[in-house]
Amino acid sequence: MGRDHSPTGKVPSPQNGATSPVWTDQKRRIPRSVSPDPQLSAEQAYIDFAYECLDATRRAAEGVRDTVMHEAGGTFQARHERDVIWDRVASRLAQLELGDTALLFGRIDTDGEGRSDEPPDAHAPPVGDPAPDGAESFYIGRMSVADRAQNPVVVDWRAPVAEPFYRASGSDPMGLVRRRHFAIRGRSLLGMDDELFGSAAEALDHGSVQGHGALVAALEERRSGKLSDIVATIQGEQDEVIRAPLAGVLVVQGGPGTGKTVVALHRAAYLLYTHRFPLEGQGVLVVGPNRLFLSYIDQVLPSLGEAGVHTAVIGDLIPDTRVAITESLPVARIKGDLRMVPLLRKAVKDRQRALREPLVVPFGLQRLRLSVAESREIVADVRRRVRHHNAGRRQVEERVFSRLAERSRQPISPEDLRSRIRNNDEVRYALEWMWPVLSASDLLNDLYSSRALLASAAGDRLTADELDLLVSPRHDDPSKRVWAFGDAPILDEALVRLGPRPNRRDSDVIRTYGHILVDEAQDLSPMELRSLSRRSLGGSMTVVGDIAQATSPWAHDSWDDVIDALPKRRPSVRVELSTGYRLPGPIMDLAARLLPLAAPDLEPPTSIRELGSEPVIDQVNDGPGEPEFDEVLVGAVQREVSAVGQGSVAVVCTGSALARCEAALTKAGVSFGRATRHGLDQQVTVVEVRMVKGLELDAVIVVEPADILEADDRGAQALYVALTRATQRLSLVHQRPLPAVLVG
């Protein structure tokens, strides 16, 4: 670094020092129609050079891939080496595939301390706008790119040298004299935004928001139905979360629009870059609240060059099961309670039983006998010796056949006896009764179908009414049963108690991860948190959420309860994101009225978008000649579609109002989609309020806020979620009176 005229080195200073900001139309990000600015032209030349280097790197990787592909035969070692090379090259090519996203997005000019005095590289073209006198320039992008001499051309945004790009401020410049943000579409530079530090910026007022022009332009772009990365506009408080140490549990409280979800995803990419070994081998797990959410975020990590992160809902983590059913609130609360842990422990113990009658087995002219007392002794002995239930089955068999062999008048080994009588119906029945091999689905299917089994396992931990709520019909094939979401952590707990089945050790194993990232953690039950904790290899976790948006049956009002259920190998760290970027000020002001009900101890985030459209209130008035509900709703949808152009529009309502809203739009010929596990695939979407959490849309129409507020005891939190999904426009359609808290 530091070579004159090199792609990342020092460039001679212009005559007049640092320049003033240069930015094209910030909202539309269109190129100027006048003659090109010399600075823009210089930076465009640099960008072109960076892409040339990237293309050369891609061609080299493709050459290696083609060579490996056409090689065949050889020793086992040679074939193995080719497979390893192929996997690495394929991974590298995936990282180099940018699609329509820009390679570069910024540049920093440092004060030049510690720069090299090496002579200039003759092969590096003199491109790039000159830096202030004595400064050293670094171009920041999505990945590191080098030229043919392996001089760095683009610095990966996760590298330590890039940290000042996100964190430098007027009070702490971190060695910067200038920070520049680029607006790039494809490979074309549209504009740039400069921030000056030190003597060059004495007369400038630098706030907490850096790259304001680039940030506002990004915030005002329409939403596509997929979450986008923010790598070009990460703010200081967000960067602190992203670059926080790997060890321990990091808890991030973030109000609506603070970017907590996308920040968490960038943290996953940063940790994989910084701690490639050991995380690449151990794995990184991202857990979301539902599959719609996973579809919504699925573009972020690949766009950052990290496609190997495992994303899942908790139900996906249970092997050989399908989880897809939503249960009533009372049932969900029981299943999420930690009382299920001793219940499962006792349920497993109840399947380790002495015989009810002696086992008598014909063997030649003999009858071999195992008494009830002997079976009780065997069960008790094995129970003391094994940690996992399924591991005890073989020991039970060994003891049973040993006792029976002792009864034979003709000397015979237990192994020989086993081979001769193991298929006897009486023997098989006895072994299955004493110590059956069970899957988690087997255990829970039997348990739920029998109130007697439930009562025995629960003891006095559950009331009679609670037991009745857990009873459900037995399925003939437990492996094909569709389970409720609340069953997932119970199945997981059962899997731990049971252990792997013989010959099923690979499928029954619980995988652990080097780092686990959990979104909407405030909604997880104690059982779900327990399930996630056991998957943490070293106690490294990042949990993000917002107490004010806690809407689940096990919603937490404090992070203390969440932290208590997580690994405690190191003290946990809590941080709060306090700046809102998504919501315009008027929308945030309306939503903030709910905070005294939703989360009295929290302050609303400070919105940097002070201006914006005021929320629109569409009231359905009773009386002759007044528009009916359907007409008002359709009119609101058409108005918002017209206002946002190609942007996204969501109609948010309670589950009971879904059919009515959909019927109104269908009758009016308005095309719309539904929120599914595959995402939002149309411009207009009708979505139940419980599914909208975590999403961003250009315009949101909230139907009957009073119904949402009164739906259950977390209604205030649900309405707060609904009101804070819009990035541009918010409408309320109501026939019932608006909740008083919104009117005031």
Binding-site positions for ATP: 254-261
Q: Rounded to an integer, what distance in angstroms lies between the CA atom of residue 730 and that of residue 617?
A: 9
Q: Which helix (H) or strand (E) holds 731?
A: strand 726-734
Instruction: Point out which residues pair with 674 in neighbouring strands.
Output: 686
Both structure tokens of 687: 């979505």
User: What is the DSSP track for 303-363?
Assistant: HTT----EEE-GGGGSTT-EEEE---HHHHHHHTSTTHHHHHHHHHHHTS---SS-EEEEE
Measure CA of the first residue to CA of the last residue in the chain; give whole Å: 59
Phi/psi of residue 315, nearest 5 degrees: -65, -25
Instruction: Give the tokens for residue 543.
Output: 């949990």
Cα 727 from Cα 648, distance rounded (Å): 10
- What phi, psi does 369 have (nearest 5°)? -130, 135
- Residues placed in the known binding site: 254-261
Q: How far is CA 676 from each of CA 163, 236, 295, 656, 688, rounded to the nearest angstrom? A: 38, 35, 9, 17, 11
Q: Tell whether the torsion through CA atoms of 433, 437, 440 and 442 is positive or negative.
A: negative
Integer Cα distance of 223 and 680 in angstroms: 11
Judge contact between 448 and 382, C-beta under 8 A: no
DSSP state of 272: H
Helix axes 526-533, 488-498, angle to 10 degrees: 50
Half-sphere exposure at residue 135, Cβ-oriented, CA atoms within 13 angstroms:
26
Query: Residue 732 is inside which H or E element, if any?
Result: strand 726-734
